[in-house]
């Protein structure tokens, strides 16, 4: 039996926890190879950390699981045709199409979310609409073979959901125990409906200009999709 192939596709401006969190969980998957790749195998800088010795996306023949992390770089990645061509190619043959945070926008730009429920970072949920996706507010959403996580830290929850799918409930629970994943945040402000109004206002104001820019990119990327 061939080994399961799990591929994380990185791009400039990715948020490192979007993939390092799930990677820490999924690297434990039995009989699986976890590959971190980028266009041309280029080094990827992510908020002060540089990830090197990456695989070349174009050299990967196939994968069972394609995972796209999010980040501020999704704006440019959605419009990067050579990168998106590899996402479409690998995704077309993958058993599971997955993402974390704004990585779902890249799945959408590849044409994989039309009529599918998908999660995203709360501030970017409206940007799924141009791709024909059904916006989900869930921390982890599943629609058929599409499994998507919400913003950043939701990627860890997403990874355990996926690990259960790949290796069973007992193995996933044992891995959670081994990693001592028992979140107890010091502040109850991790979602917009929980945060104090003044905190929400600050964050929305900080993100507004970038959200407008990303919406333009989403509309442009959606315009490139071929009719279903």
What CA–CA distances, in Å, run from 209 to 76, 79, 151, 206, 213? 15, 19, 19, 7, 7
| Distance of alpha carbon 74 from alpha carbon 152, whole angstroms | 13
Select which of 63, 67, 101, 120 is catalytic: 101
Residue 203 DSSP SS3:
helix
Catalytic annotation present for 101: yes
Report the largest interatomic distance among the alpha carbons of the chain, rounded to a whole angstrom: 55
Q: Which helix (H) or strand (E) holds 20?
A: helix 16-26
**List of residues 6+ apart from 174 with CB closer than 8 A:** none
Q: Which helix (H) or strand (E) holds 147?
A: strand 146-149
The strand pairing partners of 49, in sequence order, are: 46
Question: Annotated catalytic sites, by residue?
Answer: 101
């Amino acid at each position: 039996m061939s080994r399961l192939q799990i591929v994380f596709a990185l791009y400039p401006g990715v948020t490192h926890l979007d993939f390092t969190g799930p990677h820490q969980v999924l690297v434990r998957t039995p009989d699986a190879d976890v590959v971190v790749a980028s266009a041309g195998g280029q080094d990827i800088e992510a908020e002060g950390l540089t990830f090197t010795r990456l695989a070349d996306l174009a050299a990967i023949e196939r994968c069972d699981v394609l995972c796209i992390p999010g980040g501020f770089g999704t704006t440019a990645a959605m419009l990067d045709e050579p990168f998106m061509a590899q996402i479409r190619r690998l995704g077309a043959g993958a058993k599971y199409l997955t993402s974390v945070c704004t990585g779902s926008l890249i799945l959408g730009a590849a044409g994989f979310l039309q009529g599918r429920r998908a999660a995203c970072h709360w501030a970017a949920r409206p940007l799924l609409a141009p791709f024909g996706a059904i916006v989900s507010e869930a921390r982890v959403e599943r629609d058929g073979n599409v499994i998507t996580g919400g913003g950043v830290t939701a990627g860890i929850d997403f990874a355990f959901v996926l690990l259960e799918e790949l290796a069973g409930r007992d193995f996933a629970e044992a891995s959670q125990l081994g990693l001592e994943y028992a979140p107890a945040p010091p502040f109850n402000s991790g979602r917009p409906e929980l945060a104090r109004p003044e905190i929400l206002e600050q964050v929305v104001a900080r993100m507004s200009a970038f959200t407008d820019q990303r919406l333009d990119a989403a509309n442009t990327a959606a315009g490139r999709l071929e009719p279903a």
